[in-house]
Every structure is written in C-alpha cells, then in structure tokens.
Structure 1
C-alpha cells in the first residue's frame, strides 16, 4: 500500500512529459524569461528553437528586503528596458502551486501565501504570465536544450548559487517543487553547507567546499538512487576545480546551460502554458 500510494502521488504531481521536453513545432520563435535570485534578478529574450539568448541579459540587484512589491517593480523595469511586449515566464526561489508561493528561500518571508500571478499581472499590465520554481525551470531547459543525460532515467539537477535549487526528472518528466536544498544534512539545511555562496562567504578552498558538496550529494544518493546528478549555476563553469574531488557512485556532470537555464526554462514555460 505504501509504494502504491507513493506512485499515485508522483503521477498526479508530475508535469506531462510532452510539456517538459517540448515539441519545438508548437513553439513561437521568441520568448522572454525572468529569473529571480537571492542576489540578482535577470531577464532576456530567448530563441525558443535553440535555447540561446537573442541579446544580452539584463541584470538588476535583488532589492533588500526582497518583498513581493519591490521585486515585482524590478521585474517590470527589466521588461521595460528590454522593450518586450509579449508573454513573460518568471522563476521564483519558492514552491509554487496553483500560482501561490508556498515558501520563500533567499527572498522575504512575506512571499509566503502571495498570489504571484495576481502580483505580476498587476505590475505587467495584464499580459500572459507563468510563475514557477527556479530550479524546475532550469530542469525544463536542460532536458530540452542541455545535457542529454537529463532526458533518461532518474535525474537530479541542482542549481548551486545563493542557495541550492533542485529539479527531479524521470525520463524527462518533471516532478515539481522538490526543494532538496532544504533537506537537513548533519543538522542543517543542505544549502547552508554546499551552496556556491557558502564557498564564497566562508572563503573555502575547492577541496573543503567539495567535501561539503559530497556530503550533501551522498545523502541524496542514499534516498533517491539517481542515475546522474547534473550540476548547474555559475559554479558549473569551474567544474574542473571540484568535480575530480567528488567521491560518489553516481555520475556527476555539469549542466550545459549553466546559469542561463532559469531564464530559458521560464520563457519555455509561459510559451507552453505550464502553470504549476
């Protein structure tokens, strides 16, 4: 009964595979994505046939405090600077269900319970909007345009930045809102051990930081037995510094889209009418 229940819950909460590994023929050619992070809010026009940025991304520092109204104003400013008039996909470091933010990681706690669709609809003049978890957006993008390993088997994609975001895919099908960065490892949240910001803020050597990351991934490995870990975020650009130091049975590979994945996935999500 336990296993049957888990399977039913998983299937009911997965986004359909046809919506994650997108059929390119259904896409318009250009989209716009916004990626809201703990330190910066970034946006760009995206070629939805290639997953590439059409022009330079626009980045504005995340306001302090990062309240819903303050963040929405920055999002509106980015779209204004880009002179974009079409639909907008927006990522949020939060569990998003029914377009309601249910958590708040590295943003103000006043986000919890916010109707994010109403918020951005009000600031963006009623255009089509989709808001989704930031790491889920990265997973959608990577499964479509990035590392082929994201399309087969049980895959855990992690975005390492201010915190740790996670996307869990099975044969390219996304199970949304996993938020593995908040799992407790050695008495504290995983992202407080192994986010990229921890290395920077504590001035850790690559060896010391890799030891922290290895500890976190070992816990994920025990629980989920994934076929591969895909590591994204800006730190994946320097994978040669830390990847050889990892000691896991599971393969670890860098994400190909790196820190542009959130923007690309957001643009894809609104174009595909995904509303987690």
Structure 2
C-alpha cells in the first residue's frame, strides 16, 4: 500500500493525515495544539512519526512515499521552506523541514493546499482550471491552470483577497485600496458594522433575524465578493470557482444573495455561467492538500 503524509501547520492547530494514494482515503488523522508544552516544531515531528507508525500498523509493507506540509506564508522557490511569514509562528521563515525531519518534505501555502485537496479529491476533482477563495479571518486563494498549481513569481500568486473592489477604500495589509479581504474577511467585521458586531457569526445571526444594519453590512460584503469573483472569472475563465473557509458555513445565506449579484456582474457569453461550489473538505483541507502537493508528478 502506497501512502503519503500531509501536515497543516496553523496558528491554533497542527493537523495531520495519512492518505492512501491509490484511493485518496484518509487512513488516519491527528490534531495537536500549536501552542502548548512542546515547541510546535517538535509537535510536527511527533505527528509525522505517529503517522508513519500508523502506516506500518495498517499494513506490514506500507510505504510512506511523500511528506507534505502546508503553512501560512510564501514558500521559497524550491518549496522546502516558508520564505516569508512576518508576525506569526516565530522561527517558521526559512526553516528547512527536510533537514529537521530527516526526509524530503514539500512545503506549500495553506490556501494553495486547500485548492489542491479540492482539485485532486474534492468538489473540483478532474477539472483542469480552477480558482479557490478561502473566506475566513482574511481571504486567501489559489489558482489551478491545466491541472497544475500556479505559484507565480516569488510564489505569491493566488492572493485573491488582495484584489481591489473599492478603489476609494482604505489600504489593506499589502497596500491595496478597498481589497476583497477587507470587504468580507472576519477581521474587519467590527469596522464594517460600525462597532455593532465583532464576528461574522454575530453578523449573520442578526442578519437572519432581519436586523437592517446586519442586512446592509452582509449584503454589501457579498456584493463586493460577486464583483471580485466576476473580475477573476474574466481573468482566468475557470471551469469552477470553489469557496472554502469558515465564512462558507453561512451556506444559503451566502450562496443565494451571491447568485443574485452574480447575475448582475458576471459576463455570460452565450448564457454560459461559471459554477460556484462550496469546498468539500473542512479543516483537514490543508493537510490533504499538503499530501497532494507532495505526490504531484509521482506515478503509482
């Protein structure tokens, strides 16, 4: 049996999966807190070790063919370390995971990993051209072209949350005015709601109860999401747009108004529309995608 290990290193949790490469089946998954008694690097090493032991326990001749790790930030050109991630996970930048774990490790951005999980095993399985946005504290994303992850110069492609949807808006963390991230990300809810709500969950609860301010704030955000998606569809003409992240738990409260706004803004030559789907995988998407990235190009 051929297997791969995927690790998702986040600010709160370290998540790991052991995958059957032939079927895509998740054979084992692990959670460990990122902050605790142990250093998070040691926790990653422990997770990889535990998953290797699990592979052997499942099948005497099981072979772990690859190890992948997803993390926030920009990977280096060889995808064996995160080159740029200021302000979080001190010590992550330029840390060489292969040397630390004494095995080859492929490192990928966490939003890129989520896209790979969906394109290889999830809702976009088999589609060659896909874009994904992760709607959470901020807005991340990824781009798949001809079945391959597009990372671009300096590995920073796919930061789709940093497109402009309001040229007169405030500059975001990258210096872009009126970004999509600031328009719908959880980090700006308090500002967008004039101090009334401090989370998207609170905002949506009020929205569902018919609160007029909540409806104005939420629908304004979804409208800007539709504008951003329409722009991205014009740029990339994907087979599908996948939406992931915690904000997509709104489900129909997101999808129904989004569909209404897309009717206004999406260019639909010949009546052709681009499907928009919610991601299949939840909080394990990063780990699944990390394993998928590690096995790209391998033959089984």
TM-score, normalised to structure 2, is 0.65
Residues in 1 aligned to 2:12 and 2:183: alpha-carbon distance in whole angstroms: 18
Q: Is the 8 A contact 2:15 2:284 kept in 1?
A: no
The reply on whether 1:141 has 2:117 as its aligned counterpart is: yes
Pair 1:122–1:169, CA change in 2 (3 A) = closer
Give the aligned partner of residue 107 of structure 1: 88
The reply on whether 1:123 has 2:100 as its aligned counterpart is: yes
Give unmatched runs, 5+ long, in structure 1: 1-27
1:95 aligned residue (37, 51, 74): 74
Displacement of 1:183 in angstroms is: 3.8
2:289 aligned residue (250, 265, 268): 265
Q: Looking at CA atoms only, which structure, 1 or 2, has the larger radius of gyration? A: 2
The reply on whether 1:168 has 2:143 as its aligned counterpart is: yes
Displacement of 1:170 in angstroms is: 2.8
Displacement of 1:212 in angstroms is: 1.9
Pair 1:115–1:102, CA change in 2 (3 A) = closer
Q: Is the 8 A contact 1:159 1:166 kept in 2?
A: yes
SS in 1 for 2:120: helix
Displacement of 1:232 in angstroms is: 1.7
Give unmatched runs, 5+ long, in structure 2: 56-63, 152-156, 173-178, 190-197, 208-214, 267-273
Give CA-to-partner distance per residue, 1:192-244, whole Å, 9 cap, x none. 44235666735322654464244144134225524442112344454223211
Give CA-to-partner distance per residue, 1:143-200, whole Å, 9 cap, x none. 12222477144x3211233432211123433212322234455323533442356667
CA RMSD of aligned residues (A): 3.2
Give CA-to-partner distance per residue, 1:75-104, whole Å, 9 cap, x none. 123224445484421001112132343432
Number of residues of Structure 1 aligned to a counterpart in Structure 2: 236
Q: How does 1:175-186 map to 2 (within 5 A)?
A: 175-176=150-151, 177-185=157-165, 186=169
TM-score, normalised to structure 1, is 0.70
Pair 1:74–1:150, CA change in 2 (3 A) = same
